[in-house]
Amino acid sequence: MYLVVRYGAEADAAVDFFAPVAHLITPFHDASEYEDDFGLTVRDVVRGFEAAAAREWIDLDTFDAATFEAMERLEQGDRTWLIPGCIAALSSPGSPHTRLAPAECARALAQMGVNTIVQLNEDLPYDTRAFERNGVRHVPLVYPDGDVPPDAVIDDFLALMSQPGTVAAVHCKAGLGRTGTLAGMWMV
């Protein structure tokens, strides 16, 4: 990935450089107990980085590692920009493991420029008014964990993200599965 982002190498050439040790690289597998049925490879991931760099979603010259590491800490709300200035991910505000009260999370998101929080999980450990008081609109697009998002949720999310000026923070329980699914759909 570094070769792609820093030196502009093509993804396939960067991966091919490591061909002599490719047999040592374990393929990706999610946290589930089920057998991998999608075959995500290192090549796929590096191609994704290549696409992100081409869209200027990754810029090593402006990337602030200290800020990134601070934001992703549980006590800071477990926040991460997926596309800087467009879409962020976080685990459910107010959940015991994030250690950041909803009002504090709302202020932190507003300081990031986020104006919309999208809730994907049903169990909501926070009062949505904490966000609204800080100028962050709350949009519930709830669907069950582990499911494919319903067409209505996909349509509503894509319409929301297509509205000019929308800067969204998306969360489910952990900020990984449902959050990553919808964010990935927007990126495509």
Per-residue pLDDT tens digits for 128-146: 898 999 999 999 999 988 8
Residue 50 shares a structural domain with residue 70: no
pLDDT tens-place string over residues 142-179: 998 888 899 999 999 999 999 999 999 999 887 788 88
3-class SS of residue 182 = helix
Residue 172 appears among annotated catalytic residues? yes
Domain final residue, candidates 54, 83, 98: 54
What's the confidence (pLDDT) of residue 15? 92
Distance, CA of 25 to CA of 184 (rounded, Å): 24
What's the confidence (pLDDT) of residue 41? 85
Helix axes 177-187, 151-162, angle to 10 degrees: 60
| Two tokens, residue 134 | 């800080």
Half-sphere exposure of 46 (CA within 13 A, CB side): 20
Residue 30 shares a structural domain with residue 69: no
Query: Does some domain include residue 60?
Result: no
The CATH number given to whatever domain includes residue 77 is: 3.90.190.10
What's the confidence (pLDDT) of residue 21? 92
Nearest to 172 by CA among 140, 150, 148: 140
Residue 114 shares a structural domain with residue 163: yes
The range of the structural domain enclosing residue 139 comes to 65-187
| Residue-averaged pLDDT of the chain | 87
pLDDT tens-place string over residues 3-54: 888 888 999 999 999 899 988 887 777 767 788 777 788 899 899 989 988 8
Residue 73 shares a structural domain with residue 161: yes
Q: Which residue out of 46, 83, 161, 172 is catalytically annotated?
A: 172
Query: Does some domain include residue 21?
Result: yes
Report whether 161 contacts 188 (CB < 8 A).
Answer: no
For the chain, the first-to-last Cα distance in angstroms comes to 19
Residue 84 shares a structural domain with residue 171: yes
Residue 71 shares a structural domain with residue 162: yes
Alpha-carbon separation of residue 92 from 70, 95, 123, 131, 187 (angstroms): 17, 6, 9, 13, 21
What's the confidence (pLDDT) of residue 142? 93
What's the confidence (pLDDT) of residue 47? 93
Nearest to 11 by CA among 39, 45, 47: 47
Report whether 46 contacts 14 (CB < 8 A).
Answer: yes
pLDDT tens-place string over residues 52-84: 888 888 888 888 888 888 888 777 778 889 998
What's the confidence (pLDDT) of residue 10? 94
Distance, CA of 47 to CA of 29 (rounded, Å): 18
Answer yes or no: pTM beyond 0.85: no
Q: Count the domains in the chain.
A: 2
What's the confidence (pLDDT) of residue 183? 93
Indicate whether 95 pLDDT > 80: no
